[in-house]
Structures are given as structure tokens and as C-alpha cells.
Amino acid sequence: MRLIERDEQLSQLADPAATTLIFLDADVRLEPRALLSTVDMMRVQQLDFLSPYPRLVAATAAERLVQPLLPWSLLTFLPLRLAERSRRPSLTAAGGQFLAISRCMYERCGGHRGVRGEVLEDLALARAVKRSGGRGGVVDGTALASCRMYEGWAPLGDGYGKSLWNAFGSPAGAAAVFAMLGLAYVAPPLAAIRGSRAGLAGYAAAVAGRALTAHRTGGRVWPDALAHPVSVVAAGWLTARSIAAHRRGTLRWKNRPL
């Protein structure tokens, strides 16, 4: 993770209240003026933190199957503008790949020291900001930055494995989420194979939703959107694998035990 300190007024004044801290993962590639655009967006919208999600670069079949689910899930299920304005920690989204936060709010909420024991420290930090009275959320950053998170199946499985066990609150929560996703996105194409027109319509709606979000976020639209049910199944399998590994105490990340 890289830390960049940026003055909102683009001056040399050492005023903590006018300073934005920007945290970047090492694999994030910024476009020209990305930092200035982010800071300006925070100032105009009067936000205490902002998490622009970068365009995800997916090359291998495994990446193309799983990675698009990140922007798809944000745009499909999270009321972004409501979450941005709400101070409720439960309505919080953030990504550690690209996270901007005002320095004064960072210090007020305890910063990374306060969330050092969390698995998803980026989300925990954003929730800490909201508990301290701040506001902010996720915004489309695909024109500002790009990122290839994992290269191939093994790094992807390990990367998601380290945190998916905790992403839904509990194993029961994960089971409930994927049961819902299965009914909405896996059952319809299975029914369509058996000749159900309703199933075919449901599958077509799911593909359309996936295609729209891929187009909006700079992802590959075709033929990847057609495999959306398989993507959901893959995400469910990765989550079950992560939960099982956590229970066994065998989770590892970059050859380090977790």
C-alpha cells in the first residue's frame, strides 16, 4: 500500500484540515490528474472519504469469470448515493485499492491503528469514519485508475480466500446471500434448459444486467456476460472454500499463515 498526501488547495500550506490522505495498493495504475480529480470530488460533495473503484483488468478465464462481480455487486445491490450521504456504518462500502480520506477525519477515527486487527481493514476504516460522524462512499473510478488484482486462478483463489470467510458476517450470512443469488441467477438458466420461458427471461435479464455494468465500468461485455450464472457459482465456491480453510486454520496469503 502506498500513501500519498495531497493538499486540497494545491498549495504548500501545512494545514491538517486541508489535507487529504490517499492510500493506493501497489498494483493500482493512475491516470493523469486522478488524484486532483478525487480530491476535488471530495471537496465539491463535502465528503470525508471517497473510494473510487478502479477499472479491473482481467486477462485469464478465471479473472474474467470472478473479477467483474465486484463492480457488478456494487452497482446492483448497493444504493450508492444513499450510502454516501448516510452516516450509518451498516451502509458503508469502500475498497483499499484506492481510498481517499481527509487527514483530520483519519486522525479523529483512529486511522489504521484502530482497525489493524480487522480482516477487511479498508471497510472497517470507512465504518470508523462514519461512526465518528463522517460521510463518504464508493464512486466510479474507472476513468481514474486501473488495477489487475490477481494473475490467474491460484493467486485469485488465495486473494479472495483470505477475506471472503468474513465478508458476509457469518457462515449463515454467506449461505443466505448465495441462496438468494442462486435463486435469482442460477436457477433461471437451469429452468430455461428444461424449456421454461420464465427461466429464459430471467437468464436474459441477468445477462443484460451484467452487460450493462461491464459496459459502465470498462469491463469486457461479450461473451463474458453470458457466463454470469457460472460466475455466481464460482463466487459461492470461493466463499465456501474460504470459510472451510478459516475453520481449519489453513488460510495463507503470499506464503504467510493468517
In angstroms, how far is the first alpha carbon of the chain from the final one?
Answer: 18
Per-residue model confidence as pLDDT tens digits over 220-247: 999 999 999 999 999 999 999 999 998 8
Residue 132: give its domain's CATH number.
3.90.550.10
- Considering the domain architecture, whether residues 142 and 159 belong to the same structural domain is answered as no
Alpha-carbon torsion (32, 38, 20, 69), positive or negative: negative
Question: What is residue 257's three-state secondary structure?
Answer: strand
pLDDT at 230: 97
pLDDT at 112: 85
Q: Which residue has the higher pLDDT, 224 or 162?
A: 224
Cα dist from 190 to 73, 127, 180, 221, whole Å: 22, 39, 15, 22
pLDDT at 95: 80
Share of the chain above pLDDT 70, in %: 85
DSSP state of 120: S
Indicate whether this model's pTM tops 0.75. yes
pLDDT band at 67 (very low <50, low <70, confident <90, very high): very high
- Considering the domain architecture, whether residues 64 and 108 belong to the same structural domain is answered as yes
- Considering the domain architecture, whether residues 143 and 55 belong to the same structural domain is answered as yes
Per-residue model confidence as pLDDT tens digits over 141-161: 989 999 998 888 888 988 888
CB-count burial class (<10 Å; 0-12, 13-18, 19+) for 198: exposed
Residue type at position 212? L
pLDDT at 255: 63
Q: How far apart are CA 217 and CA 209, in angstroms?
A: 12
Question: What range defines the domain where residue 240 resides?
Answer: 153-257
- Tell me how many domains the chain contains: 2
**Span of 24-38, 117-131, 192-206 with lowest mean pLDDT:** 117-131
Q: What's the chain's average pLDDT?
A: 85
Alpha-carbon torsion (24, 92, 141, 35), positive or negative: negative
Q: How far apart are CA 96 and CA 28, in angstroms?
A: 10
Q: Is the pLDDT of residue 213 over 50?
A: yes
- Considering the domain architecture, whether residues 123 and 72 belong to the same structural domain is answered as yes
- Considering the domain architecture, whether residues 88 and 143 belong to the same structural domain is answered as yes
**Which residue among 147, 164, 185 closes a domain?**
147
Q: Which residue has the higher pLDDT, 4 or 21?
A: 21
**Which residue among 92, 112, 147 closes a domain?**
147
Q: Is the pLDDT of residue 123 over 90?
A: no
**Which residue among 93, 122, 147 closes a domain?**
147
